[in-house]
Structure 1
Amino acid sequence: MNQPLLYRINDHHFWLSPERCIYWQEKKTLIVADLHAGKTGHFRKSGVAVPQKIYREDLQRLLTQILFFKAERLLILGDLSHSRSNKELELFKKWRADFHLLQILLVKGNHDILEDEWYWDCDIRLIPEVFIEEGFRFQHDGETIVITESVLYTFTGHIHPGIHIRGLGKQSLKFPCFYFTEDFCVLPAFSRFTGLSGVKQRKNDKVFAIVEKEIIEVKYTGSIY
């Protein structure tokens, strides 16, 4: 794996991984958003031929990140699951059983609609809306953040952020990204089977695109892209 990038917030060390996650060094915690377990199975049930290996590869990537950083805890910022129970969610259960010593916290997202018992069976601590720790706030949907002087720095997911990078001849490609403002950070979707929602970078924002498993800082240009 290409090397992660260190980003400091309030004297805490957050390592941005090209595998679409963040490692919080002080808490030995891997932070991810939008795994969407079961999404490819949901599409197959609808007649769309999506290979199951996409989700298997996501689980393998997740394991690789946990081992690489030696994480003791996994914090999921919503949308662990995508739909009702299917074979992919059973696969996640088996994966979880193999790593039962890992603590898992889930801040529930709009797609986390399974019965609570399913999460309890996986030994996942459910957090209904917001998780606060060490002066940081973690939630699924950043649209509910109200910026005030006393607001905690917030980490969110949900929108699957992407950034346009322009090349020669005015060609433009969109890549998943980490999006930092002075008040909050939006993580890219961990699942690769997702769309991207373009972010509009402002002057003081920091944007890090994930390009071919490398992290590239995107400098502000004043363009809407």
Structure 2
Amino acid sequence: MKGCAVELAGEQVLLLAQKALYWPAARTLMVADIHFGKAASFRALGVPVPRGTTSENLAALDALLRDFDIARIVFLGDFLHAKAARAQATLQAMLAWRRRHAQLELVLVRGNHDVRAGDPAAVLAMTLVDEPFRCGPFALCHHPELANDGYVIAGHVHPVYHLRSGRESLRLPCFVVGAQRAILPAFGAFTGGHPLIPQGTDRLYLVADELVFPIEIR
């Protein structure tokens, strides 16, 4: 099975190179910060950014659905980027994807961008919840600092790590796995990232091409 296996709260999960987390026992995929319509929002402000990020995000989800036995996707906040993300072309692409996967359960744990953008269109047939969303031993959230009973899995931070060797440096997305919470990298194709300093017993798992691998922080 693809991915880097780790144990969280007694459950085996896979950290995937596609910047998502898969929980096999619950047939559940977790995705953070997909930010649908972010590029459209920038274009609405006159910023000439490339088109096609919505299609890229949907294609990435399709690839995961082909590779894994998935019955449910939980989006850990920031599904839509802003009100301007509600462009008709964006909605039509998402709706066409949804119709192809009508049997799939979709859950959105609302994040800070979702509060500003508003809930997704009802035709997408998503279950909308506020954090924390209790799921087995996990508290599924958008904000990682939210105190909860249960092991927190969250997003929001868009963590990246600068991997350095001599004069060479790479900026790579990463998973942050701690004793009480895990933070997923941003899934979206047009999201950016923020360098993260590990705390306490945090372990970092870097994403590079098709690999996810742990790194020792000294």
TM-score of the aligned structures, taking structure 2 as reference length: 0.91
Q: SS where residue 160 of structure 2 aligns? A: strand
Kindly report structure 1 stretches of 4+ aligned residues shifted beyond 4 Å: none
Shift of 1:115: 4.5
Post-superposition CA distance 1:61-117 (Å, at most 9, x none): 11111221120100110011111211223311221122110000100011114444x
The within-5 A match list for 1:38-77 is 38-77=37-76
Distance between the aligned counterparts of 2:61 and 2:212, measured in 1?
18
Matched, 1:194 2:196: no
Contact 2:54 2:93 in 1 (8 A): no
More off after superposition, 18-27 vs 201-210: 201-210
Contact 1:202 1:220 in 2 (8 A): no
Give 5+ residue unaligned stretches, structure 1: none
Q: SS where residue 175 of structure 2 aligns? A: strand
Give 5+ residue unaligned stretches, structure 2: none
Return the match for 1:168 from 163, 166, 169: 166
Q: SS where residue 163 of structure 2 aligns? A: strand
Q: Counterpart of 1:158?
A: 156
Q: Counterpart of 1:210?
A: 207
Contact 2:15 2:22 in 1 (8 A): yes
Post-superposition CA distance 1:90-149 (Å, at most 9, x none): 311221122110000100011114444x44321100002210121210110113336xxx
Distance between the aligned counterparts of 1:58 and 1:71, measured in 2?
17
Q: SS where residue 40 of structure 1 aligns? A: helix
Shift of 1:203: 5.2
Q: Counterpart of 1:15?
A: 14
Distance between the aligned counterparts of 2:118 and 2:197, measured in 1?
36
Q: Counterpart of 2:36?
A: 37
Contact 2:81 2:117 in 1 (8 A): no
Contact 2:174 2:205 in 1 (8 A): yes
Shift of 1:199: 1.2
Q: Which has the higher contact order (CA 8 A, sep 6+)?
A: 2
Report the AA paired with residue 28 of structure 2. T
